[in-house]
Amino acid sequence: MKTIKYLFPPLLLLAVLSCRKDVNIKPKGNYESQLFIEGILYPGEQPRIYLSLSQPFFNKEVTPQEMFARGAEVRLSDGAREELLHPDSTYDKFRCRWVPYYLGQTPAEYGKTYELRVAFLGKTYTATTTISQAKVDIEEVEYTSEFFDVYGGHDGVILRFRDAPGQNNFYRFQMDRFLDTSRHHAHILEVIQNDCTNGEKFWITDLGRTIFRDENNDGQPMEMYAEVSFEYRRGDTAYIYLQSLDETSAAFYEDIDNQLQSILNPFVEPVFLKSTIEGTLGVFGSVVRSDTVLFVYPQDNP
């Protein structure tokens, strides 16, 4: 699990000459928390809508439970019927914490248009999505011990597939697998003490951070190089999917990906998250998954 970070050489020399001090920063005006909505519908699955409140930038980090927007009225309608979603949560055994959301009972269906309506603190926010993107299946999965992307050098997997012709497509990697605490995270998350598993394996979903567009590649064979989040040993198994996102969701996660590159780096232009929901922050969209492919790691991680 290696990630190469390129430091620009003059910065290194500057670091020798420079000195640092903490400064207090006061952006203009008082910051008021905003509702953040993240709702991605998967055909065949119960809808989950994550609602949280944004925190002032310079506050300490809080848990998902503390950020959760309690008391919201969340409704999802497909035109024919409307459903009121109820608060629910899952336990994240990797981080040992509860992650709350609003859950619907009726699975989302391919081909339908959904309207999300969220009423919170006297305001109502609405957004719609249609699940119409093509399901594209994986033709081949290959292991790679080294490849390079904008984040540097990694090991991971290569997905090969043929783009669905005649439309703009946006793809993302997904890997599901069982883990135990001996498999560490690729990055700084390894410092997390996940001692809530009682030695049992737990299930994780690892979503790729890069959105692949089919620009200039309509209907052509495509390759997706994906970095994986966790360590592995030879013989470890995982279930791999190719996600097809709608354009709205793709744009939002591209912003997320771009901001990830710019965060904490003073030499990159900052990335503003553009909301797809009028009046507040967030995204409402959909993902169509490919059929699953069982993947067996051919070697230990380098």
Positions 23 through 82 that interact with another protein (CB under 8 A): 23-28, 31, 33-34, 36, 38, 50, 52, 54-61, 64, 67
> Residue 241 belongs to what H/E stretch?
strand 237-245
Q: Which stretch binds another protein (CB under 8 A): 4-12, 125-133, 239-247, 289-297?
A: 4-12
Triad 251, 159, 184: Cα angle to 5°: 85
Supply 213's token pair.
């567009």
The answer to whether 72 touches 87, Cβ cutoff 8 Å, is no
What is the footprint of another protein within residues 87-146 (CB under 8 A)? 92, 94-95, 99, 146
Choose between 14 and 134: whose C-beta lies nearer to another protein.
Answer: 14
Q: Buried b vs exposed e over 6-28: b needs ≥16 C-beta within 10 Å?
A: eeeeeeeeeeeeeeeeeeeeeee
Please work out, in degrees rounded to the nearest 5, the angle formed at the alpha carbon of residue 263 by the alpha carbons of 62 and 5.
120
As measured in angstroms, the least distance from the Cβ of 98 to another protein is 10
> What backbone torsions phi and psi does residue 131 show, to the nearest 5 degrees?
-90, 95
* Among 79, 86, 144, 148, interactor with another protein by CB under 8 A: 148
- x/- site string to another protein, residues 227 to 266, per CB under 8 A? x-xx----------------------x--xxxxxxxxxxx
Residues 176-195 that bind another protein (CB under 8 A): 185-187, 189, 191
The answer to whether 206 contacts another protein (rule: CB under 8 A) is: yes
The owner of tokens 């409307």 is: 82
Least Å distance between CB 108 and another protein?
A: 18
| 188 DSSP β-pair partners | none
* Beta carbon nearer to another protein, 12 or 294: 12
In the complex, least distance from residue 172 CB atom to another protein, rounded to whole angstroms: 10
Name which position in 44, 71, 79, 153 contacts another protein (CB under 8 A): 153
- Spell out the residues 6+ positions from residue 204 whose beta carbon is closer than 8 angstroms to its own: 94, 176, 177, 178, 179, 229, 230
